[in-house]
Homo-oligomer: A and B are copies of this chain.
């Protein structure tokens, strides 16, 4: 596997573009993205579990019922959620994209992100979609990624090249997140593309399986959004023998997909709203994988732990506390905790009790930008990792007056 440039356009036959069409007032912010595959692609998707769902989700789900798609249209600045005309507007967005690309509206994935409950006018999209389609290019990934950003401070894109059946294949993607990211599927927008030939069933299996260990292990603020989804399009243009069952090729594809998704997860966590640090909680020694996941997520979601990390305070009691209320059956007297970063590693708790440590070294370690919280439950072989960020003044600032 080799990291390559190109993001969502790294895979053969994918083009993208992003522009400002007028949904946002600020003209310097792009607000409309288009992704296009030069041939119809197999498509898989996962959606938020929130009962309050953005109108685009239902429209996308219906369009993907045949397992095929050829384009993605996505706006930022307005979530098109909790609006009486939401479904009609989402359908209109598909129709507009389809017309500009000369494809069927049923082959369009539609997504929106932004404020909830404000009617979205399709007017600016109608006026700009032609120009946007003309801008489609293999170099358009970053522009498309910028156009789906909300409070994100940088675009998230990543791609890999790898080999399958003697053919060079690619997989890549773009993602947006920042606030409202919490384990429960697709709690952000992720658009992934690959030129691998793979059946829709195996594509869905790969995506549904991988998100359990990646996007579902990511939390910024514990709030699960109404609009988020991850979509994976595979157009087969790499020319490899089609993957239709488990085996060596499927395993290689899963590995590439996981590498892309872990990278995007870390980018999303590190750019959590107001975040100054990426937190990674790696749990080992668990009796089973469910316990490992529950514990890792509980630590990453603890407001008190997140605030302590912001203050570079080695307050391991808060980590233990979060393990204790996680709901997982753990033996407290076997738990060990260490903090690790580029500046070193420091054990702070053994067998459920504090041990003497250098506050000075702990501070040095916790002042780094990427912190690992290492938890050993001492009760088995299972492991899990969760990603999150610290809780900062800026989180409050960003969310104290987002809407007006």
Contacts and interface: CB of A to CB of B under 8 A. Distances in A.
Interface of A: 49-53, 79, 81-84, 115-118, 179-180, 182, 184, 221-226, 301-304, 307-308, 310-318, 320-325, 329-330, 332, 349, 352-354, 359, 391-393, 395-404
> What is the total number of copies of this protein in its complex?
2
Contacts of A313: 400-404
A354 B117 contact: yes
A307 B401 CA distance: 8
B51 A332 contact: yes
A310 B318 CA distance: 25
Nearest to A326: B51
Instruction: Give the one of A118, A308, A320, A400 with max B CB within 10 A.
Output: A400
B402 A392 contact: no
Given A303-B223, A325-B49, A325-B184, A116 B320 contact: yes
Nearest to A324: B52
Contacts of A226: 317, 320-321, 324
Instruction: Give the one of A50, A53, A182 with max B CB within 10 A.
Output: A50
A404 to B, nearest CB: 6
A108 to B, nearest CB: 25
A321 B353 contact: no
A82 B352 contact: yes
Contact of A311 (B81, B315, B395, B400): B400
A53 B352 CA distance: 11
A392 to B, nearest CB: 6
A289 B263 CA distance: 43
A117 B226 CA distance: 40
Contacts of A53: 324
A320 to B, nearest CB: 5
A310 B400 contact: yes
Contacts of A395: 303, 307, 396
Contacts of A404: 313, 359
A224 B325 contact: yes
